[in-house]
Amino acid sequence: MKKKKLNNETNLNRSRVEGLLIRSLSLYYYHDIQNLSNDQLLQRAWEKIQRSYFDIYNLHYYRLCRTAFELLLDAIEENRLVTLGLPRIRQEVLDYLETRKQTIEPDYEISLALSSELGQVERQLELANYQLKSFRIDFNRINNLVYPNQPFNFETLRAEVKRLKFQDLTSKISLKKQELEQLINTAKERLTRAERYILEELFRKHSSILQTNNNSNVERLNNNNSNVEPLNDDESNVERLNELKEILSETLTQEGLQILLNNQTENFNLEEHLNNL
């Protein structure tokens, strides 16, 4: 029958301690490690550490080992250490552990740190090279789709992509204009002749604001804020725009007017995109 691990009197995380000792001191050779009491586990670890030494390339294992010892020492009464074959006080045990690792001179420690950083940079470069190769593969795949059986040529591919974008934007602009015209015609059916002139003036003012490329004013207008405070030379256009919206809102509502202006803005942005190709 297996012994029960003596963890009930402490908050010791035995699984963690065992894992630390297995990784740092290779205590997995003791097949009954899980059946040992805390006292017995500390004895085995102490026997093993006296035959072990951590060189500069394995100092991370030393840190794991020291953590395991600190946890075990916290879980065991100090007056029992001598009876287990260890130094009489906890600090003496930890001081002995310090002698089991290789001392590093400050200059050499800096050298190790720089070496570690260099290794990280090299790994980042390897990753960047891998990503670059992936991009080239993707470009070649796109090139093969556009120009089958022809070698990759970036300028030729860019020109073809530009041509396709031009066709796509031209089609979108045409559809957006038709949509805007339909919305305008539907709105005019609800307006008197005088109000239709006001609606046309509204679009002219809004177009003027868009042409100034004042993104701050455009964004605030598109937020359906009838009390927009102008930011610069567009002041008169913005104020007049708000007045016209207020007049027409009695018939078309602020929401309906904003849909019209948003559509005009979308159409303007598409045309700007097309012009910048």
Average of per-residue pLDDT across 262-266: 90
How would residue 110 be classed by pLDDT, with cut points 50, 70 and 90? low
Cα dihedral 258, 259, 263, 264, rounded to 10, equals: -30
pLDDT the model gives residue 88: 93
Beta-bridge partners for 101:
54
3-state secondary structure of 54: strand
Please state the domain count of the chain.
Answer: 2
Whether residue 95 lies inside any domain: the answer is: yes
pLDDT the model gives residue 17: 92
DSSP 14-46: HHHHHHHHHHHH-GGGSTTGGGS-HHHHHHHHH
pLDDT digit string, tens, across residues 50-98: 998 888 778 888 999 999 999 999 999 999 999 999 999 999 999 999 9
3-state secondary structure of 7: coil
Whether residue 262 lies inside any domain: the answer is: yes
pLDDT the model gives residue 155: 79
Quote the pTM value.
Answer: 0.42
Least confident of 11-20, 85-94, 109-118, 170-179: 109-118
- Residue 7 and residue 115 in one domain: yes
Distance CA 33, CA 73 (A): 17
pLDDT the model gives residue 188: 87
- Residue 172 and residue 101 in one domain: no
pLDDT the model gives residue 7: 44
- Residue 109 and residue 208 in one domain: no
Whether residue 5 lies inside any domain: the answer is: yes
pLDDT digit string, tens, across residues 187-214: 888 888 888 888 888 888 888 888 876 5
Whether residue 88 lies inside any domain: the answer is: yes
Whether residue 89 lies inside any domain: the answer is: yes
Q: Which amino acid makes up residue 117?
A: E
- Residue 162 and residue 55 in one domain: no
Domain of residue 41 covers 1-124
Q: Is the pLDDT of residue 245 over 70?
A: yes
- Residue 90 and residue 169 in one domain: no
